[in-house]
Amino acid sequence: MSKNLEEAIQQAGSAVNLLWEAQTPPSVVPRLAPEFSNWRDEQLAWRKTAVIYDQSHHMVDLNLKGPDALRLIKDLAINSMENFPVDKAKQFVAVNYDGYIIGDNILFHLDENEYRAVGIPPSINWMQYHAETGNYDVEIRRDDSSAVRQGPPELYRYQLQGPGAMEVLAEAMGAQPPKLKFFNMTTVTIADKPVRVLRHGMAGEPGVEIWGPWEHHDAVHGAILASGKQHGLVQVGARAYHTNALESGWLPRPLPAIYTGERLADYRRWLDDNAYETISPLGGSFYSENIEDYYFTPYELDYGKIISFDHDFIGRDALEHTSAEGARQKVTLVWNGDDVGKAYASMFQDGPGAKFINLPMALYDTFHFDRVEVNGRTIGLSTWTGYSANERAMLSLAVVDPQFAEPGTEVVVKWGEDTPSSKLQVEDHVQVQIRATVQPAPLTEFARTTYRA
Share of the chain above pLDDT 90, in %: 93
**Mean pLDDT for the stretch of residues 250-259:** 97
| pLDDT of residue 450 exceeding 60 | no
Average pLDDT over residues 378-403: 98
pLDDT, average across residues 366-384: 98
pLDDT of residue 451: 44
Which amino acid is located at 265 in the chain? A
According to the model, what pLDDT value does residue 260 have? 98
Residue-wise pLDDT tens digits, 10-37: 999 999 999 999 999 988 899 999 999 9
The model's pLDDT over 139-164, given as tens digits with 9 standing for 90+, comes to 999 999 999 999 999 999 999 999 99
Return the pLDDT at 352: 94
Residue 84's nearest CA partner among 114, 45, 60 is 114
Residue 334, pLDDT above cutoff 80: yes
- Residue 444: pLDDT band with limits 50, 70, 90: confident
The predicted pLDDT at position 380 comes to 98
In order, the DSSP letters of 272-306 are BTTSHHHH--EESS---S-GGGG---TTTTT-GGG
In the chain the domains, ranked by start, together with CATH numbers, are: 39-58+152-241 (3.30.1360.120), 287-452 (2.40.30.110)
Which residue from 43, 62, 184 is spatially nearest to 114, judged by alpha carbons? 62
Identify the band that residue 381 occupies on the pLDDT scale cut at 50, 70 and 90.
Answer: very high
pLDDT of 420 reads: 87
DSSP string, 404-436: G-STT-EEEEEES-SS----TT--S-B-EEEEE
Q: What pLDDT, on a 0 to 100 scale, did the predictor assign at position 12?
A: 98
Q: How many CB atoms lie within 10 A of CB 196?
A: 18
Give the mean pLDDT of 182-206: 88
Mean pLDDT, residues 179-194 taken together: 96
- Average pLDDT, integer, range 331-338: 98
Confidence category of residue 452, pLDDT binned at 50, 70, 90 = very low
The pLDDT value recorded for residue 312 is 98
DSSP 345-402: HGGGSSSS-BPP--SSB--SSSEE-EEEEETTEEEEEEEEEEEETTTTEEEEEEEE-G
In this prediction, residue 404 carries a pLDDT of 98
Q: What is the DSSP string of 52-116?
A: EEE-SSSSEEEEEESTTHHHHHHHHBSB--SS--TTEEEEEEEE-TTS-EEEEEEEEEEETTEEE
Q: What is the pLDDT of residues 278-296, one digit of tens each?
A: 999 999 999 999 999 999 9
Distance CA 111, CA 299 (A): 32
- Residue-level pLDDT at 323: 86
Q: For residue 202, what pLDDT is reported?
A: 59
Average pLDDT over residues 80-89: 97
Three-state secondary-structure class, residue 175:
coil
Average pLDDT of the chain to the nearest whole number: 95
Q: Which band of pLDDT confidence, cut at 50, 70 and 90, is reported for residue 205?
A: low
Give the per-residue pLDDT at 27.
84
Give the number of other Cβ atoms within 10 Å of residue 447's Cβ: 21
